[in-house]
Chains A and B, each alone.
Chain A
């Protein structure tokens, strides 16, 4: 069966319209030698042989399931209860595309509504949208929202250097051509110093807590920052780690206007960096400037509970060419995984996960800090912390992996080069979650003692 929907006569009509005698003439600009190059492929394999081959290739990977891993830096390994995969594997959810007549898919809308309700509760914000692609795109959408709240009258954005480097890059990519001035991340200052760079031309200040270095912005500091930012008439955007909210105060309580972040840690595997989900929660007063879409609960004509798409004010199908957000979809299955994870754990379960992360990371910081030549940063942190090393982190990671079978930490030198950030010289990030055992952490500490003077 042919999957080409147009017929021979359709094609003849189209060729005549463009004045070409044959389909081959359409490819006339591609040099003949490149049109059908010899691919030099090995002979075809049977299905059984292919599976053996792929299995062998997969075994060549060193993955976090097999080796102790202390990498974080935005993607985190957590235990995922089996119920999460069970729920998201149901064909009603797994195979569904965003419904174009959304109300026909009540189950999808209910799942999104429940996801939104949990995110709003977790962040302490009034409204959550149905999610974005990842933490970086959520952050960029928050910046665009702030620009729209200012009705185009404020063209400056202040970013913290502690905001994930990828998020800062995506903010710059999303807003290129908008004639903005993006400042603040050229030096690693405290959160309150960012407020001093805020003025009547500033649309928003974006911070992260725990930040990229793992440091927690204390609730009192975040509250004071929010007051200062609001005094300038700007919005405060905070990127937060959702698991940390099991023990930390929600950003909404501090007066944050938009709380965004990477939702992967909630029931989604690291899976090579995506697909992930970006959560996006905010104050109701800005709902008309919000991005993405919002599912809502209502009743039908007979008074029965039902779900609808309530709002998608900035999207193409409403605003056409004036759309300010062209994200008309999300990765709903990832949002569903987050909802299933949060439902499975409950508030107490999430708090336990967060406590385990905190304790294990602090145990690890103590052990690593006691290794001669290593110094763990003293700031308040959650489950990730910076360590100053006696030699280059890249070399440490290589030796940890090759000699000890340990996946080490995140080398900060590419994102924070020593010539611009001298305090970050030879620094790396280590992360511990509830899945790291005490034995693994002890092994890491003794391995570090060896590799640093090998």
Chain B
């Protein structure tokens, strides 16, 4: 299945995306990732105030097929979480780059974002999988 790649965000190799808005970053999982997971039934969001460290597992997404960890694509402190996912986790399937966002973090070192792939690199990356 062809996956949508949002042009305005950066991507990790573990399929998280980051959209920088001021000093903060919105984090979600890519359309490719939600396709692979199939119907998502539960999202375990991390708590507001929690520190997340780049590369470390910070959340769990559970689908009818599997439970997968979400790895922090950047280091920072969680400032908000998408409470809508508690009742409607399927938003991650229907709108992974929009209403299906996971958390918002205050970036500890904004330069980390530069280490992530841009849309073109991510498109080539998923073509190799």
The reply to whether A151 and B67 contact each other, CB–CB distance below 8 Å, is: no
Q: With A288-B42, A288-B44, A313-B62 known to touch, is A318 a contact of B67 (CB < 8 Å)?
A: yes
Instruction: Say yes or no for A322: interface residue by CB 8 A criterion.
Output: yes
Instruction: Say yes or no for B54: interface residue by CB 8 A criterion.
Output: no
The reply to whether A313 and B50 contact each other, CB–CB distance below 8 Å, is: no
Of the residues A151, A153, A288, A320, contact of B66 by C-beta under 8 Å? A320
Contacts of A288 in B (CB 8 A): 42, 44, 62
Instruction: Say yes or no for B35: interface residue by CB 8 A criterion.
Output: no
The reply to whether B67 and A153 contact each other, CB–CB distance below 8 Å, is: no
The reply to whether B46 and A151 contact each other, CB–CB distance below 8 Å, is: yes
Q: With A313-B62, A318-B62 known to touch, is A153 a contact of B50 (CB < 8 Å)?
A: yes
Instruction: Say yes or no for A443: interface residue by CB 8 A criterion.
Output: no
- Which bucket holds chain A's interface residue count? under 10
Question: Across the two chains, which residue of chain A brings its CB closest to B65?
Answer: A318
Instruction: Enumerate B38-86 residues with CB–CB distance to A below 8 Å.
Output: 42, 44, 46-47, 50, 62, 66-67, 69
Q: How far is the CA of A313 from the CA of B66 in the complex (A)?
A: 10
Instruction: Say yes or no for A284: interface residue by CB 8 A criterion.
Output: no
A348-375: CB near B (< 8 Å → 1, else 0) gives 0000000000000000000000000000
Question: Across the two chains, which residue of chain A brings its CB closest to B47?
Answer: A151
Q: How far is the CA of A153 from the CA of B46 in the complex (A)?
A: 11
How many residue pairs at the A-B interface have CB separations less than 8 Å? 20
Contacts of B44 in A (CB 8 A): 151, 288
A199-217: CB near B (< 8 Å → 1, else 0) gives 0000000000000000000
Q: How far is the CA of A322 from the CA of B46 in the complex (A)?
A: 17
Q: How far is the CA of A322 from the CA of B66 in the complex (A)?
A: 10
Q: How far is the CA of A342 from the CA of B66 in the complex (A)?
A: 37
Contacts of A322 in B (CB 8 A): 67, 69
The binding surface of chain A is classed by DSSP as: helix
Instruction: Say yes or no for A319: interface residue by CB 8 A criterion.
Output: yes
Instruction: Enumerate B73-105 residues with CB–CB distance to A below 8 Å.
Output: none
Q: How far is the CA of A401 from the CA of B95 in the complex (A)?
A: 73
Instruction: Enumerate A267-312 residues with CB–CB distance to B below 8 Å.
Output: 288
The reply to whether B67 and A319 contact each other, CB–CB distance below 8 Å, is: yes
Q: How far is the CA of A319 from the CA of B47 in the complex (A)?
A: 22
Contacts of B47 in A (CB 8 A): 151
Smallest CB separation, A195 vs chain B (Å): 23
Contacts of B42 in A (CB 8 A): 288, 313
Question: Across the two chains, which residue of chain A brings its CB closest to B43?
Answer: A288
Q: How far is the CA of A319 from the CA of B46 in the complex (A)?
A: 18
Q: How far is the CA of A182 from the CA of B69 in the complex (A)?
A: 28
Contacts of A313 in B (CB 8 A): 42, 62, 67
Contacts of A319 in B (CB 8 A): 66-67
The reply to whether B66 and A318 contact each other, CB–CB distance below 8 Å, is: yes
Smallest CB separation, A256 vs chain B (Å): 23
Contacts of A151 in B (CB 8 A): 44, 46-47, 50
Contacts of B50 in A (CB 8 A): 151, 153
Q: How far is the CA of A288 from the CA of B66 in the complex (A)?
A: 14
Smallest CB separation, A278 vs chain B (Å): 24
**Which of B42, B46, B50, B67 counts the most chain A CB atoms within 10 A?**
B67
Contacts of B69 in A (CB 8 A): 322
Q: How far is the CA of A128 from the CA of B22 in the complex (A)?
A: 46
Q: How far is the CA of A425 from the CA of B50 in the complex (A)?
A: 48
Instruction: Enumerate B1-49 residues with CB–CB distance to A below 8 Å.
Output: 42, 44, 46-47
Question: Across the two chains, which residue of chain A brings its CB closest to B68?
Answer: A322
Q: How far is the CA of A318 from the CA of B60 in the complex (A)?
A: 12
Smallest CB separation, A144 vs chain B (Å): 15
Q: How far is the CA of A318 from the CA of B66 in the complex (A)?
A: 5
A392-414: CB near B (< 8 Å → 1, else 0) gives 00000000000000000000000
Q: How far is the CA of A151 from the CA of B46 in the complex (A)?
A: 8
Smallest CB separation, A148 vs chain B (Å): 9
Smallest CB separation, A229 vs chain B (Å): 18
Smallest CB separation, B45 vs chain A (Å): 10
Contacts of B62 in A (CB 8 A): 288, 313, 318
Q: How far is the CA of A151 from the CA of B50 in the complex (A)?
A: 10
Smallest CB separation, B16 vs chain A (Å): 17
Smallest CB separation, B57 vs chain A (Å): 9
Q: How far is the CA of A319 from the CA of B66 in the complex (A)?
A: 6
**Would you give 15 A-B contacts (Cβ < 8 Å), ordered by A?**
A151-B46, A151-B47, A151-B50, A288-B42, A288-B44, A313-B62, A313-B67, A318-B62, A318-B66, A318-B67, A319-B66, A319-B67, A320-B66, A322-B67, A322-B69
**3 closest A-B pairs (Cβ-Cβ)?**
A319-B67, A318-B67, A288-B42
B-to-A contact residues, CB < 8 Å: 42, 44, 46-47, 50, 62, 66-67, 69
A-to-B contact residues, CB < 8 Å: 151, 153, 288, 313, 318-320, 322
